[in-house]
Each structure stands twice: as structure tokens, then as C-alpha cells.
Amino acid sequence: MNNSSGVAPSPEVARFLRENCAIARKKGEAINLDDCCYGKIHRGGGFAEQPSNYYYFLAGIVNHFELKRVFEVGTHYGGSIRSMIRGLTDQKSRDESLYATADVTFYNAEAFGHYPDTLIRRFHGDAGAAEEVEKVKKLFGGEPIDMLYVDAIHSYDGTALHVNLYANALRPRFLVLDDIHLNHEMERLWNDMVKIFGDQAYDATEISGRGESGFGVILMRNS
């Protein structure tokens, strides 16, 4: 991926991300996510009935930046995208918003049944397939979205594929990557992102409460 965002890397951009991510975290902590569970735990087994800590950060990002058009790669049980929806704290924001998510699995259909298709559209399929990219692109009408959140295949090639496909197709303002420190491949991917985007790439691991897994926020365009 090339940095064609038009955002000039600078200490001001780094400060903007750092300060606003801190505000987003604080706002997210005030949002009720009680029923936004993580679900089946990938590593170690078990089932998490509580929201993950970083869900509050995602909800806060949506709330603080008033993000109304969001696409997520990696639905799992839907805890993350449902948390983001909670960041839309008034009915007007919900009425004006369109969120979508895609995954090869199809867990927790019951929870998604509480949301209209006009708010959350769920795609069941391989997000890396050309036909799925076209479906998502058509859904958003070819217009830029507010945020692309990638949390699916935790490998260099898999994540890079999703980033390249959807960053080019959807032109998000923010690109958010989960698990940037999960393994050596994801570390390498994040290091490459930092080389490309410089001050536009912010390691939000600590502020998001993501522990050792890591969390990255990239400003792709100013507005």
C-alpha cells in the first residue's frame, strides 16, 4: 500500500491522534456494552460473556468522531461491531448510519436480528474474494467511508490483502488494525505501516487496553 492520503505527516498529526484517541477512550468508558460479548475465545478455548476491553475504545472512536459509515473485516460473534453501534448514542445518528461486517463464520445470528439491515449489513463469505469486495463497495455506493476495521486473518499476507482491497475500494478516513503485536507477522505488518504512514500511524495499544495483542489507528485522510 502506498500513502496517497494527502495527509502530510507531522508532529501535529501524531498529537492529534494521541489526544483524540485518549478522548475516545474516555467517552467509550461511559457507554454501556454489557451485552456485547466477545464470544468463543480463539486461544485457550472457552467463551467470553463480557465485552473485551478494547470494545469501549471502538465505541468511543465512533462516538467522538461521529463515524457513520463503517466496514469491519472479521465479525466473529459481533461484539466489536455491536459495540461500535453503541457509540451512536442518539437515534438521528443511527438513522443516518450504515455499518457492515464480513466473515467466513456466521455466529450469533440472534443478536444481529435486533438490528435492521439499514443499520448493520452482515456478509457471510470470504472478505478477500473479489465478489465480496464488489458487494461491499456497492453497499456503500462507491462513496468514501469513515472507518475500516480489520480483525480477521492474523498473518502478514492475510491482513495486508484485506487492507489493500478495502482501503482502495472504500477510501476510509480511519484504518484500524487489531492484534498488531500478536505475532511476528503482525509486528512486521505494523512496522511496514509505520514506514508508509509515519506520524499518521498511531500505536493505540496502551490507550485501548489491548494488552500484548496490540491495536493500531491510522489516519488515512483529514475528513
State the Cα–Cα distance between residues 84 and 20, nearest whole angstrom. Answer: 16
Residue 3 inside a domain? The answer is: no
Calculate the average pLDDT of the chain: 94
Look at residue 2 and tell me if it is in a domain: no
Whether 4 maps to a domain, the answer reads no
Residue 1 lies in a domain: no
DSSP-assigned letter for residue 118: T
Q: What is the pLDDT of residue 6?
A: 60
CATH number of the domain where residue 27 is located: 3.40.50.150
Residue 141's pLDDT is: 96
Distance in angstroms (rounded) separating the CA atoms of residues 16 and 34: 30
Residue 9 pLDDT more than 80? no
Query: How many domains in the chain?
Result: 1
Beta carbons within 10 angstroms of residue 196's beta carbon: 15
Domain membership of residue 49 (yes or no) is yes
Q: Which residues is 172 bridged to in the sheet? A: none
The stretch 136-140 carries a mean pLDDT of: 97
**121 is a domain residue:** yes
The residue range of the domain holding 53 is: 11-219
Sign of CA dihedral 73, 60, 200, 141: positive
Identify the DSSP state of 53. Answer: H
Helix 79-86 crosses helix 53-65 at what angle (to 10 degrees)?
40
Asked if residue 207 lies in contact with residue 186, where contact means CB atoms within 8 angstroms, the answer is no
